[in-house]
A and B are shown apart, each in its own frame.
Chain A
Amino acid sequence: MSTEDKKFDDFDTLMVYLNESDDQKLTDGILSSPQGCKQLEGLQKDMNTIENKFNEYQTDEQYGSDLWNKISDRLDERAQISWFQKFIKQIQQPQFSAVGLVALFAIAVTFYLMGHNQAVVEIDSQKTTNQQLLSQNMQLHLAQTDMFLTQVSNMNTQNNSPVLIRTAESLLASNRIYKNAYANNDNKRLKNLLTELEQVLLEVSNGESKNSHNYISEYANKQLLYKVKSSNQQLKSQLSNQKTTSI
């Protein structure tokens, strides 16, 4: 038997027929050989016969309709998809995708603003609390100063008692603190009062001369005492209003 008449392996022939051979040289050998072509032809013929047998396989003419009758009741499950799946499917449609994006953006912005506003409210609330505390302390300071000035103004003669001086020094220190605390406040009247009080308290704490005592008595009697009392009253009413509002 010559090389050209050599029978090729059926497996190799089938792989060439199916176009799945890994060996290109063998493929070329089969395709260029008369025996290889004869084997491929035979294989082709048999495969056609097999395929024709399958194509002769018969089902009833009404098979499609019968099949539909069997499965139609089982198709309703498709309608039972969840709202979330529907929503996802909807926003995946090209015409809805932009709307979906806008909706998501709007939701995100809403949540951001809600969070932001909550933060602002929290900051405002903190500020209000601080302001209330300052006003309460300021009111206490004014009440003490009121008592002190009343005492000083009631003295007929100069009295440089150490107790008075220490009280003046203490009130002076507090006064300076409140003056700084109210530096950025809009209440000009209160700021001016604290400045005036500082001068008077400074005079007393330094051990006043006879002239200065007269000045303090006169000043305290005529102007400062009145201002302290009215400011104190004003702060008291403000605080009571704020408490009512917060309740």
Chain B
Amino acid sequence: MQEIDDKILTQAINGDKMAFRSLVIHYSKAVNLLAFRYAANKACAEDITQDTFIKAYKALPRYKANAKFSTWLFRVASNTSIDYLRKAKQHKQTDSIEQNPSISEKHNQQINHEDQLDLNRQLQSALSGLTDVERLAFTLKHQQGYSIAEISKQLKINNNACKQTIYRAVQKLRNKLTPMVST
């Protein structure tokens, strides 16, 4: 992903709100997509995206330039997603669109085009077939490039369980999203 200009980043770190606005506009879609991968729900992804940027704004003075800003921001998004899903679980909310009419309603209000609706529904359906942990483990590994050890630590499970979780997630996604399983 193309990084934002260092000058804008420095201004945002120094508290310039307009610079941070540029930063939000530049990274918002990527963060939202990542949140959607974790949450499997557009409304939840929207909440996670908002929380991610608010947390990032507060934590920005602590950002050190030894890592790419997008890497740092996606890490904030990952942590925010994990927290969000844990809280949602505590409140006995399900992440399945079929099981949660209010989220479904919210979701439908935000989609305008038929094609996009189909695609997003297909993705959402596929992701909804995964448990929270499967989605988190798969996305952290496949999309974010975390190691098994790091994911195990984040999700508080052992390495073998983590590997099995990722395997189950991949199998489910292959069944849902690929026309024919290649194996």
The interface of chain A, by Cβ under 8 A from chain B, is 7, 10-11, 13-15, 18, 20, 39, 41-43, 45-47, 49-51, 53-54, 56-60, 63-65, 67-68, 70-72, 74-75, 77-79, 89
Of all A-B residue pairs in the complex, the 8 with the closest CB atoms, nearest first, are A42-B182, A64-B25, A64-B28, A46-B178, A58-B116, A46-B174, A49-B178, A67-B28
CB <8 Å contact, B167 and A53: no
A89 neighbours in B (Cβ, 8 Å) = 61
Assess whether B173 is interfacial by the CB under 8 Å rule: yes
B24 neighbours in A (Cβ, 8 Å) = 64, 67-68, 71
Of the stretches B30-38, B68-76, B79-87, B90-98, the one at the interface is B30-38
Distance to closest chain B CB from A240 (angstroms): 68
CB <8 Å contact, B119 and A78: no
B28 neighbours in A (Cβ, 8 Å) = 59, 63-64, 67-68
CB <8 Å contact, A68 and B182: no
Distance to closest chain A CB from B137 (angstroms): 11
Q: Which of B118-159 contact A (CB under 8 A)?
A: 119-120, 122-123, 126, 141-143, 147-148
CB <8 Å contact, B32 and A46: no
- Contact sample, A vs B, 13 pairs, CB 8 Å cutoff: A10-B167, A49-B178, A53-B126, A54-B33, A58-B113, A58-B116, A58-B120, A59-B29, A59-B32, A67-B25, A67-B32, A67-B53, A72-B21
Report which of A42, A56, A59, A75 forms a contact with B183, defined as CB distance below 8 A: A42
CA of A60 to CA of B25, assembled, Å: 12
Assess whether B171 is interfacial by the CB under 8 Å rule: yes
CA of A193 to CA of B41, assembled, Å: 107
Assess whether B177 is interfacial by the CB under 8 Å rule: yes
Report which of A14, A50, A74 forms a contact with B167, defined as CB distance below 8 A: A14
Interface of A is mostly: helix
CB <8 Å contact, B141 and A65: no
A-B pairs under 8 A by CB, number: 106
B36 neighbours in A (Cβ, 8 Å) = 57
Number of interface residues of B (CB under 8 A): 47
CB <8 Å contact, B163 and A15: yes
Distance to closest chain A CB from B50 (angstroms): 5
Chain A's closest residue to B115 (CB) is A58
CA of A11 to CA of B165, assembled, Å: 11
CA of A58 to CA of B148, assembled, Å: 30
CB <8 Å contact, A70 and B50: yes
Chain A's closest residue to B149 (CB) is A20
B21 neighbours in A (Cβ, 8 Å) = 68, 72
Distance to closest chain B CB from A237 (angstroms): 71
CB <8 Å contact, A71 and B53: yes
CA of A218 to CA of B120, assembled, Å: 130
CB <8 Å contact, A46 and B181: yes
Distance to closest chain B CB from A39 (angstroms): 6
CA of A52 to CA of B51, assembled, Å: 26
Q: Which of B9-46 contact A (CB under 8 A)?
A: 15, 17, 20-21, 24-26, 28-29, 32-33, 36-37
B182 neighbours in A (Cβ, 8 Å) = 39, 41-43, 45-46
**CB-CB under 8 A for A50 and B147, given A56-B119, A64-B26:** no
CA of A16 to CA of B126, assembled, Å: 24
Q: Which of B44-77 contact A (CB under 8 A)?
A: 49-50, 53-54, 57-58, 61
CA of A11 to CA of B166, assembled, Å: 9
Distance to closest chain A CB from B138 (angstroms): 9
Most central of A10, A42, A78 by chain B CB within 10 Å: A78
CB <8 Å contact, B171 and A10: yes
Assess whether B170 is interfacial by the CB under 8 Å rule: yes
Chain A's closest residue to B32 (CB) is A59
**CB-CB under 8 A for A77 and B53, given A45-B182, A54-B33, A68-B24:** no
**CB-CB under 8 A for A78 and B123, given A64-B26, A64-B28, A71-B54:** no
